[in-house]
Every structure is written in C-alpha cells, then in structure tokens.
Amino acid sequence: MQNIERPLKPFSHLVFNGKAVNRFSDNPFVHEIKRFELEVGPQFTPHLSLNATIDRFVKERYSNDTLYLTYEVDRLRNRDDLLSYDKRQLKLYAPSLTSLTVRKTMLEAPSIVQSIPLKVLADDARSVTFTKMELPALSVSNYGSYVNFSRYMKVDSLWYESVGPSAFYFNVPHRFGKIVQGRMDSVANVNIAGRPEDMQAYLNRQ
C-alpha cells in the first residue's frame, strides 16, 4: 500500500512511544517499533506521512499543546499485523518544536531547523540520530539511550546529560558553539569520531 498523509493539530511538544499497547489488556506487548522519522522546519505544516497498512494502529492524543503518539492494537491477531509492517514508514512533519520526548523506538531526524531552542528527552530509546540541526540552543537528557550527532550541526549552545547505560556520539567537525556537560553516570559513554585532521583541529580548540 502507498503512504497517506494525516493532518495534525498545531502542537509545541511531541511525545512518541514506540511500544505497541493492547488497549484491552493491562499488559502492553513487549515489542518496539523499529523506525520513526521526524523533520522540522518552517516550510512544513503539522502532519503525519505513514504507510496505509499501519494507519489504524497509530493513535494521537492532545493535551493542551502536547501531542502524544502511540501504537494500539484492538485484538490479539492485530499484533501479527503490526509486526508484519514493522519497517513501514512513519514520519512526522512540524514547523517547530519546543520539546521532544521519544521512548522505545529508533528515531531518525534528517533535518531540524528552527529559530527557537529545543529540549530533547531520549528515554530508553534504542537510538536517536540527528543528521542536520540549525537552532539557537539544544538540551538533551539521555536515559538509557544512544544519541548520535552527525557533522551537520549548527547549534549555538548544547547542554547534555546521561543517566544509566547510555551513550552520546559526536562526529567532527561540527558547529556546536558552547558545550556544557551535565550529570554523567559512570556507566555512560561519550564518543567523538572523525578524520584525523578534523580530530586534531577539534582538539586544538579545546
């Protein structure tokens, strides 16, 4: 089936949980959606682009200016349907975001461009990858997740913290301005990668 577009109401905060939930049971299925994509920029209107086969499983709920996205299945046999379409596209577009919370998923954000700060919480997310970012300030709280920043970062200030067995990956050269490290658990990791000449230039600036 082809992708369809679902318009969304305006929102400032996004909470996405990739764990499938059976609304007729107190016990959620132990399954995580493999992929969730996000693009943010002033050229976009709020909407979802998703494969028609998973449209009925994706539920949205609003509370004030917060959008909650989850997966729900009605009957046990729908669980197999959902597993079959695990890799189908689910992508959200928004003109801007104040905060982003992701749980139980693999988030890919090809581009986030906005004129306001962004606060990110990665809570037990399998991976969170930011490919391109242009914004004045970014704060990231990492709880048991893997967060990757590519080389195409243009952020004036970054604040980050890591709790539990989690990791940050920085790829240089990047264009982070001021970088402030918050609390870091002893089991957390920070990794910096790049070509030798880029690494040396990066180290010389420290």
Summarised one tens digit per residue, pLDDT across range 25-37 is 655 555 555 678 9
Buried b or exposed e, range 129-165, using 16+ CB within 10 angstroms: bbbebbbeebbbbbbbbbbbbbebbebeebbbbbbee
Tokens of 51: 């494969």
Whether the Cβ atoms of residue 85 and residue 53 lie closer than 8 Å to each other: yes
What are the backbone angles phi and psi of residue 201, rounded to the nearest 5°?
-65, -40
Looking at residue 85, what is its pLDDT?
Answer: 44
Summarised one tens digit per residue, pLDDT across range 122-163 is 999 888 999 999 999 999 999 999 999 988 889 999 999 999
Q: How far apart are CA 138 and CA 87, in angstroms?
A: 29
Looking at residue 104, what is its pLDDT?
Answer: 87
